[in-house]
């Protein structure tokens, strides 16, 4: 009789490895019904894919020199999805934000002060927060999606993983 490794087995093994060996945070966002909120993600609606609380806290951690109001404004902007964006242009803009940071300006000692907010800390990678999220329902334009795992960096999705069942047994 052939043996099976289930999707659940693979998912749990991946979560265990990421959490125990790589110090990832873990969120299980499984809900029986797609529309159910709260689901542990902190999202306001199921069309969002960004983890708002993780994003804000991460930006505060890696930008301690910036005022909280500036960080809140940037986090709110990062969570907005443009209604009619040209995908290639928007992806390039987002890539530049991730890679180079975001220019910000705030008042300090009565003067406008320019600075750069880091979205990802490339100089000190351990300062970033890595999160593995399982079973997150996402409302698309037409259909619901629920990837098995999503890897987040500072509350921003980086990779989506769909696990398939593997059959193993004796080879001829």
> What pLDDT, in 10s, does the model give residues 63-96?
999 999 999 999 999 998 766 667 788 888 889 9
pLDDT exceeding 90 applies to what percent of the chain? 73
Distance CA 59, CA 72 (A): 9
The secondary structure of residue 161, as a DSSP letter, is E
Distance CA 124, CA 120 (A): 9
Phi/psi of residue 97, each to 5°? -65, -45
From the first residue on, what is the mean pLDDT of each consecutive set of 10 residues in the chain (172 residues)? 77 95 96 93 93 98 97 94 75 91 94 96 96 94 91 90 54 40
CB contact at 8 A, 74 and 102: yes
Q: Where are the beta strands (DSSP E) in the chain?
A: 3-5, 25-28, 102-108, 111-117, 130-134, 138-139, 144-145, 149-153, 156-161, 166-168
CB contact at 8 A, 134 and 31: no
Domain limits, the chain = 3-168
Q: pTM for this structure?
A: 0.86
Q: Which two tokens stand for residue 101?
A: 């940071």
Collapsing DSSP states into helix, strand and coil, what is residue 60?
helix
């Amino acid at each position: 009789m052939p043996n099976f490794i289930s999707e659940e087995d693979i998912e749990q093994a991946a979560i265990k490895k990421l959490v125990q060996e790589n110090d990832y945070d873990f969120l299980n966002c499984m809900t029986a019904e797609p529309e159910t909120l709260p689901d542990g993600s902190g999202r306001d609606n199921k069309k969002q894919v960004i983890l708002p609380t993780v994003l804000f806290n991460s930006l505060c951690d890696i930008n301690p020199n910036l005022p909280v109001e500036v960080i809140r404004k940037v986090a709110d902007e990062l969570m907005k999805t443009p209604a009619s964006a040209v995908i290639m242009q928007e992806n390039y803009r987002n890539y530049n934000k991730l890679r180079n940071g975001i220019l910000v300006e705030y008042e300090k000692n009565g003067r406008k002060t320019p600075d750069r907010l880091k979205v990802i800390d490339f100089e000190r990678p351990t300062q970033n927060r890595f999160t593995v999220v399982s079973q997150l329902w996402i409302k698309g334009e037409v259909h619901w999606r629920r990837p098995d795992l999503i890897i987040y960096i500072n509350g921003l999705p980086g990779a989506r993983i769909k696990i398939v069942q593997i059959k193993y047994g004796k080879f001829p």
